[in-house]
Structure formats: C-alpha cells, structure tokens
C-alpha cells in the first residue's frame, strides 16, 4: 500500500467512493463534475508555492501497488471557511435565576456560530469496505499529520476534524429530522448534497440563528448530539489518541462532534522525526531497529506533488539517518542524502487504539 496525491485518472474510483460512502459524507458527494473540480483543485494545491494557508485542499489516495486498486481517500483543507462559511452549533448551558423567588434552572442551548474559521481541517477519510486491512486505516489517518509536520507553512497551527454524525441505513438523521420538522422542509440527503456541492446560502436563509433549547427537542434528536456514525467510531478513537478533543461544537445537519487539536500537540507530529536517507545498496538492512522487532513505521518523503508514504518494517533508523533498501527508496522517490519523515507506529498511539483498522469501519 502506498499513499500518493490524487490524479485525474482517479475520477472513476473517487465517484465510486463518493457513492458508496453514503449520506452525511459531505466532503465527497457523487457528482462527477464536482469531483473532477475537487481533483483539479487538489492538483493545483500540491503544485502551489505556499507561505501561508489560503484555499488549498489536499486529497490523497491509498493505492494497492500490485493491483492498482484505490483502497481509500484522505484529505486536508488548509483554511476552513476561506471560500464559504463553516458553521457549527455550539452547545452552551444557560442559567435562568430569579433572586426574589429563589428559583434557578439551567438549560442547554445550541447556538449557530462559525468559530472554526481559519483552522485547518482533516477530512475525506474513507477506507473502502472490501479493502479494510491491518495498517490501512492508520496510514490514511496519520499520513496527513506527517505531511502537515513537514510543511507547516501550508497549514494553521490549529486543526479540526468534523466527525460524521448518526444516521441510519436509509440515510435518516434523527437530529436533522427534528430540524426539518420545525425549520427546514428539506430531506437530509438533499441538504447534504447542497453542502457537498458548496452551496451554503440556505443556512443563513432557513437555519435558525437564535439559540435552540435542547430540552424542547425530540428524545431521538437529543440522544445523538455529539455522537458519531458507527462507521466513524474507529477514526474517532485514533484522533482521540492523537490528542484531539471535543469542545462542544457539533455539525449543523447531523449533530456529529467536531474535535480539535493544536498542530504541534498532535501525537504523531510530536513523535515523528526528520531523517537523512542512506540507501542500503546491499539490499539487506542490518541491525534494523524496526524490522527485527517486527514494528512497522510510517515513512514519507518530503515532497508535495511527488509526495509518497508507506507503512513498512524494512528500514533502520540510527540517530538522524534512515537506512532504506533500494526498492523502497524507489517507491518513496528517495535518493541518497534526501530527507524523509519517520513515525514508529508502536509509539503512535496507546495500546487500546491499535488494530482498529480490522475491527471497525473508517469514514468521516
């Protein structure tokens, strides 16, 4: 498996992924024209010379090198809210107090806001069901952090992830069904389709701007506040292990939580390191710190348009030098004296989050 930037030739597979990911996966919608534009935008973003984040969007694919199959996608929005508003509901507690009557009541409200404007956003993570295997989910999730660590000038120092909220197999969201009843007479899939294609005017026109009292919601809507879709649980566990936290901001449409973390505080960023590459021309890496212990590492080059990343046990890290066999160096487009970034995966997350790639699905 290898991670690389998306190309024009991936459009058909990207359309399949957008179709099979289901309602609520708004970062990839089954619209060929919109997806083609997204690919073109990603290609242009990788090609740009950037000193500060603007409207760049980076989309990567995970490829099976033997079959050529695209196993999944993962992406980064450099500057959320740059081209269109990024809205959330903020969960607040409001206390009403009568001193004369000695009565006090605290109630929860949801208030529409755009708190996260300017943050970088990790998104578009989807691992196709037939390709779920060990390390695939880890590679899709953590590769973004190494790319961001290597190119911090392209991103904000704050990072968010909007986690997909609860919806059933028919695409019905309990949270949206309550909003639909009282505010927006529109089906959930229609609303998410509009968002996925970049149309947000109806939020200002139809969505409530005043605080909503959650005690007035249906029990079904209240129950799913800040809860994630079953296909997103594994991804959330990985992000929580990386240091991401939920601070009360939820999605406008399905009530899913948004989690956040400082870029420098992300565990994979802190534990990864830059190394100088030495190619082992004997094709036999001796004293391999990772391979002898059967502990895989995530290795990336430091490029943009030619970015590549793999999970491997075929390298040896000695101080600031990464010893790489020739075949792997070719895959990663590394030369003697070039630079790479390495993350030992046994150090990347606490034990209770490991091996989730084969236990649960990945989608957000």
Exposure of 165 in the CB half-sphere (CA atoms within 13 A): 25
Query: Cα separations (Å) of 338 from 48, 150, 289, 323?
Result: 21, 14, 20, 11
Q: Give the contacts of 244 (CB within 8 A, at least 6 positions apart).
A: 159, 161, 259, 260, 261, 266
Q: Is 229 a catalytic residue?
A: yes
Q: Give the contacts of 14 (CB within 8 A, at least 6 positions apart).
A: 6, 28, 35, 38, 39, 61, 70, 73
DSSP letter at 236 equals H
For residue 356, count other CB atoms closer than 10 A to its CB.
Answer: 21
Q: Which of 229, 246, 339, 352 is catalytic?
A: 229
Structure tokens given for 19: 């179709």
Query: Cα separations (Å) of 10 from 17, 19, 48, 270?
Result: 11, 14, 21, 32
Phi, psi of 147 (to 5 degrees): -65, -40
DSSP-assigned beta bridge partners for residue 94: 107
Element (H, E) at 342: strand 339-344
Catalytic residues: 229
């Amino acid at each position: 498996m290898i991670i690389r930037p998306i190309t024009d030739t991936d459009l058909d597979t990207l359309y399949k992924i957008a179709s099979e990911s289901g309602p609520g996966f708004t970062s990839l919608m089954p619209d060929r024209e919109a997806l083609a534009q997204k690919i073109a935008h990603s290609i242009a973003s990788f090609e740009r010379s950037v000193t500060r984040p603007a409207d760049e969007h980076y989309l990567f694919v995970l490829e099976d090198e033997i079959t050529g199959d695209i196993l999944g996608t993962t992406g980064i929005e450099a500057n959320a809210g740059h081209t269109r508003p990024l809205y959330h509901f903020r969960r607040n507690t409001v206390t009403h107090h009568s001193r004369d009557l000695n009565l006090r009541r605290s109630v929860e409200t949801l208030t529409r806001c755009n708190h996260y404007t300017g943050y970088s956003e990790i998104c578009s993570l989807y691992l196709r069901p037939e390709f779920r295997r060990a390390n695939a989910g880890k590679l899709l999730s953590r590769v973004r952090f190494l790319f961001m660590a290597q190119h911090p000038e392209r991103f904000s120092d704050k990072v968010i992830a909007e986690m997909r909220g609860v919806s059933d197999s028919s695409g019905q969201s309990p949270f949206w069904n309550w909003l639909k009843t009282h505010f927006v007479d529109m089906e959930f899939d229609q609303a998410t389709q509009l968002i996925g294609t970049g149309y947000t005017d109806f939020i200002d026109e139809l969505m409530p701007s005043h605080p909503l009292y959650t005690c007035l919601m249906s029990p079904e809507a209240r129950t799913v506040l800040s809860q994630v879709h079953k296909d997103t649980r594994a991804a959330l566990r990985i992000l929580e292990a990386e240091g991401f936290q939920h601070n009360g901001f939820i999605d406008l449409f399905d009530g899913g939580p948004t989690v956040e973390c400082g870029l420098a505080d992300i565990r994979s960023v802190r534990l990864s390191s830059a190394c100088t590459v030495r190619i082992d021309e004997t094709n036999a890496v001796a004293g391999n710190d990772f391979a002898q212990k059967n502990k895989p590492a995530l290795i990336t080059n430091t490029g943009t348009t030619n970015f590549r990343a793999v999970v491997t046990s075929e390298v040896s890290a000695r101080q600031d030098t990464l010893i790489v066999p020739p075949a792997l160096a070719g895959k990663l487009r590394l030369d003697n004296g070039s630079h790479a970034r390495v993350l030992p995966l046994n150090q990347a997350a606490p034990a209770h989050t490991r091996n989730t790639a084969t236990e649960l699905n990945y989608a957000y």
